[in-house]
A and B are shown apart, each in its own frame.
Chain A
Amino acid sequence: MVAHSAAEVIAYPAVGAELDIEHVSHAFDIDGVALPVLEDVSLSIKPGEFVALLGPSGCGKSTLLRLVAGLETPRSGVLREDDVRIKGPHPSRVVVFQDPTLFPWRSVWDNVALGLEAQGILKSQRQRVDAAIDLVGLSGFRNAYPHQLSGGMAQRVALARALVNDPKILVLDEPLGKLDSLTRITMQAEIVSLWQRKRFTTLLVTHDAEEALFLANRVIVLSDRPARVKADIVVDRPYPRHRGDPYLADLRKQILGLLGLDATW
């Protein structure tokens, strides 16, 4: 298994991009009143790194992801992908949302093909769609419609739809938040193995400290709204990790302390 993944690393050289978030602040207008959501957030993420953003609900984590994806532009500050300023959405930065948001009128295959179709390269690259579907283990469901899938399968399709574009940065917005705990554990392991094989830079938003520690190289703890970087914790543990690892348990205690929840644990 280890030898296998080493071979994969050679087959897929680091394709991840570097992501720099420099002094980014953002606010929403609610009835004419500016509601600050991000305050002077700076982060530098190395190519191929797996970074988890952890913070209380409603703190602005998802807003930060939308800025990275280019779906919104920040009020101030700059985001860069490999030193190129992010001005809008680009298929090199793909988001997997909390809801799978599959298009219900498209079959699994057509949903996964969406990105290639939108970029006008589907005709010559059809095999990539098949490969992405195989990658998430849904080869038997190519022609199924989204309403025929379970929650976990739908989220796998959403993952395949993102991965088919060979993204340099994969942005995961609580992708496992709505799944049952058993499916979540399985898919956490799958995400790690996909990331190890493909080496994209990964940015994961979660409110689950355990999930963050199980998956990420680095855990960024954000404060309450407006979000600021409260702590930048390196998780120096090899994969596959074990949930019972005392090192991770210590880190979790530390993180929950930062979030003001240590008393409950």
Chain B
Amino acid sequence: MSTYSVSDAISVEGSRASSSRAQAIGDWLKSSGIGVAAAVAWIAFGLSCLWWQDLGDWSRTYSLGIAAFVVAAVALFGTLSADFLGAAGPALRRRAPWLVALGLFLTVWELATAKFAWLPLPFFPPPQAILEVYTDDLPKLLDSVFASVKLQLGGYVIGATVGFLTGVSIGWSRSVGYWIHPVLRFIGPLPATAWLPIAFFTFPSSWSASTFLIALATGFPVTVLTWSGVASVSNAYYDVARTLGAKPSFLVLKVAIPAALPHVFVGLFMGLGSSFAVLVVAEMIGVKAGLGWYLQWAQGWAAYANMYAALIVMSLLCSGAITLLFRTRDRLLVWQKGVVKW
């Protein structure tokens, strides 16, 4: 009797253990299933590269196919063994659905262009043509990236600094506001690109003209938002600081500016967006360097793959710049967490 009950207890225990094991296996399958799907998608892409003959003359088709298989292998083993990869494992698992989508997209793209030309060919280059640009035209592309970053950074830093200082002085001093405000109203809303023709013959070099235009495009939103930020600081903060013995410099540096910073960052964000537009136009029209110029040049030679390649680099740079700005803001405005969100 007693042995019976013991064995009964063991079997209950055993079935519970096996059910939880089944659960664990289910979880593992679920999380690895997407990894397997990603691998399949990338294998499909690799096969689509290698199975059929190219309709055109591209030199990187074979390497691209191999690269696709490598990505497939990484996706497969990475997600299956994610638990042993530290922080990289979960990160890879989170991105696995995107890997699936990307693999499928590349497969369709490959088939639609290089293999069956469903899309008209010179205008829609296949992935291997773009890869070819990155491998064979790298020096020129890097030069362009360097030139663009230099121009953008110079103009943006000047524009942001001048805009910030102007904004603080308008917000702080009524007499400065009296003189600057109407000028700002009159000139600010003008798109910076409208100055292009004038800027290019009044400035000594196209580089200085473009820097000025980028600074202008950045400066306006930064000025307006810094100003509104400083102007909207509650008088109660100043009262508190004054009763504690604060001098005017303390009120500006330690009260007005920190209180206005969330606004300033909105201005910096808007300025970044409009300065990108000016950068590209300025490079296309006047400056003989940079990604905008590269795009223009590629169009002149009907080098469509180069255009797409440059466009991809450009979008990476722009989104990288914005990410950087947001990271800086999050670092600087930790106190805002839970107060303001945008």
Contact = CB atoms under 8 A, between A and B. Distances in A.
Interface of A: 69-71, 89-91, 93-95, 97, 99, 101, 103-107, 114-115, 117-119, 145-148, 161, 165
A118 B335 contact: no
Given A97-B236, A145-B335, A89 B261 contact: no
A8 B255 CA distance: 36
B176 to A, nearest CB: 24
B243 A89 contact: yes
Given A104-B335, A117-B254, A145-B335, A69 B243 contact: yes
B241 A118 contact: yes
B242 A89 contact: yes
Contacts of A104: 335-336, 339
Contacts of B236: 97, 99, 101
A20 B243 CA distance: 19
Contacts of A161: 240, 244
B236 to A, nearest CB: 5
Given A97-B236, A103-B255, 5 more contacts: A93-B243, A104-B339, A105-B333, A106-B258, A146-B335
A242 to B, nearest CB: 34
**Chain B interface main SS type:** helix
Interface string B221-245: 0000000000000101101111111
Contact of B239 (A93, A97, A103): A97
B250 interface: yes
Contact of B250 (A99, A101, A118): A118
Contact of A103 (B237, B333, B337): B237
A117 B258 CA distance: 15
Interface residues of B, number: 25
A119 B254 CA distance: 13
Contact of A89 (B245, B258, B335): B245
B259 interface: yes
Contacts of B234: 101
27 contacts: A71-B239, A71-B243, A89-B245, A90-B243, A94-B244, A95-B243, A99-B236, A101-B234, A101-B236, A101-B239, A103-B255, A103-B258, A103-B259, A104-B339, A106-B258, A114-B241, A115-B244, A117-B254, A118-B241, A118-B247, A118-B250, A119-B244, A147-B338, A148-B338, A161-B240, A161-B244, A165-B245
A205 B281 CA distance: 63
A2 B338 CA distance: 45
A238 to B, nearest CB: 32
Contacts of A115: 244-245
Contacts of B254: 117-118
Contacts of A99: 236
Contact of A105 (B247, B258, B338): B258
A119 B245 contact: yes
B266 interface: no
B74 interface: no
Contacts of A119: 244-245
Given A105-B261, A118-B244, A95 B335 contact: no
B36 to A, nearest CB: 45
B243 A106 contact: no
Contacts of A105: 258-259, 261, 333, 335-336
A55 to B, nearest CB: 21
A69 B241 CA distance: 12
Contacts of B255: 103
A90 B240 contact: no
B261 A118 contact: no
B339 A147 contact: yes
B246 interface: yes
B339 A114 contact: no
Contacts of A117: 250, 254
A123 B284 CA distance: 54
Interface string B247-280: 1001000110011010000000000000000000
Contacts of B244: 91, 94, 114-115, 118-119, 161, 165
Contacts of B335: 104-107, 145-147
Contacts of A90: 243, 245
Contact of A118 (B246, B337, B339): B246
Interface string B91-107: 00000000000000000
A128 B233 CA distance: 29
A89 B337 CA distance: 33
Output the residue of B245, B333, B339 with the most chain A CB within 10 A.
B245
Contacts of B246: 118
A94 B242 CA distance: 9
A66 to B, nearest CB: 8
A201 to B, nearest CB: 15
Interface string B124-156: 000000000000000000000000000000000
Query: Shortest 3 CB-CB distances between A and B: which pairs?
Result: A115-B244, A91-B245, A118-B246
Contacts of A95: 239-240, 243
A250 to B, nearest CB: 37
A106 B239 CA distance: 17
A93 B337 CA distance: 34
A118 B245 contact: yes
A108 to B, nearest CB: 11
A90 B242 CA distance: 8
A71 B242 contact: yes
Contacts of B245: 89-91, 115, 118-119, 165
